[in-house]
Structure 1
Amino acid sequence: MRLSTLKMGLAALVAAIPALAFAHPGHEHTTSFMSGFTHPMGGLDHLLAMLAIGLWAANLGGRAIWAVPSAFVGTMLIGGALAVAGVQVPFIEQGIVLSVILMGALLVGAARFPVVACAGIAGLFAVFHGAAHGLEMPLNANGAEYAVGFAAATALLHVTGIGFGIAVARFQAPVVTRITGSLIAIAGVALALA
């Protein structure tokens, strides 16, 4: 059982690796879907937040495993649509960095709230991530394809975090989750100071 969980997490990580090669400008030949897919992979802030959401959901267990990431992806799409529609979402960059710091802190503290509250926290952070994706959509991109791309990448990163969290739980090593959370929070602080 432990080996299959580890294999699932590793498979998700390996599946994400090709996208990292496109995670920077200069790939004009990519489709709108690939432009959207690579966007969350291109920034450490997005990567850390998405992985942390999945890890937190796995740590919470039960319905949170699907509810928290689903709330994030759904609300992120709304944030992206708001940005594309020209609605000003204030403090986007600060909200993204704050999401990294606070998600790390939630992991360090092994924070447990009702599932609805956890989904709400994830959804709040997702608005900022979605608005950033929407604002940075290439002008020639098909909006729907781009949105499906960044939603798919986000879900893949969540699944990777969930796989890691399940593997940690199987090995009964909660300290690994707390150490990972502290590293995420520290990286968030470094991003804030950069």
Structure 2
Amino acid sequence: MSQLSNQHRLVIFTLGALVAVPAFAHVGHGQETGAIVDSFMAGVTHPLTGLDHLAMLLGVGFISAQTPGLKKQLSLIVSALLSILLGLSFGALTGAFTGMESLILGSVFVAAAALGFKASGRSHLATVGAVLSVVMLLAHGWAHGVEAPASALLAFAPGMLVSATGLLITGHLIGRAVPARWLSPVLAFSGVMLALAS
């Protein structure tokens, strides 16, 4: 039996991580035991316990790694974090909107498409996909702005941003080692698993 290359190991690890984590519906997520999302630790753990966040944040990290130029890569990661924070604020101020769950699910496929376009050399479409992926992170933050009272966001938001930063950086490091042609189908598959689990 031949040895697996480091790239194949990373793909297998990433696929396993994306598939092994349970998916949760957003509004009400984290309330199974009656506790609301209201603490720093809830913010830290939340992106790690929902396949939608895990897949999307790793996916945007993958995209950043495939983006030429360190300045653009950093811009993408910072923009992703700002998008989540804006979404949290909008959710707290306005409440849920129709189609939020579909937008969250669709965001994973948009990120997969951005990577697919990059792999096939369609850089303009890859750029559009990258920008849309960052914008669609608004919905991920929005859902949790809806869940928690505004006062709770002061504890939850920093925790969520810490965890999101870690996942974006992890995705970036994986994306530097694994080609987009592998990452795109892994991300799309995670989106399919999320859709089936919803």
The normalised TM-score by structure 1 is 0.72
Map of 2:99 onto structure 1: 91
* CA gap 1:140/1:66 in 2 versus in 1, 3 angstroms: closer
1:165 alignment partner, SS class: helix
Unaligned runs of 5+ in 1: 1-5, 14-19, 169-173
1:61 alignment partner, SS class: coil
After TM superposition, give the deviation of residue 77 of structure 1 in Å: 0.7
Question: How many residues get paired?
Answer: 167
CA contact (8 A) 1:54 1:158 kept: yes
Unaligned runs of 5+ in 2: 1-6, 15-20, 22-28
Q: Which residues in structure 2 correspond to 1:35-184 (within 5 Å)?
A: 35-62=42-69, 63-110=71-118, 112-113=123-124, 117=128, 120-137=131-148, 142-168=152-178, 174=179, 177-184=180-187
Residue type at the aligned position of 1:58: A
Distance 1:39 1:134 in 2: 13
Residue type at the aligned position of 1:126: L
After TM superposition, give the deviation of residue 116 of structure 1 in Å: 8.0
Residue type at the aligned position of 2:92: V
Q: Aligned-residue CA RMSD in angstroms?
A: 3.2
Distance 1:70 1:127 in 2: 13
Which is worse superposed, 141-150 or 54-63? Answer: 141-150
Which is worse superposed, 62-71 or 140-149? Answer: 140-149
CA contact (8 A) 2:111 2:130 kept: no
Using the aligned pairs only, state the percent identity: 29
Map of 1:17 onto structure 2: none
After TM superposition, give the deviation of residue 43 of structure 1 in Å: 0.8
CA contact (8 A) 1:96 1:128 kept: yes
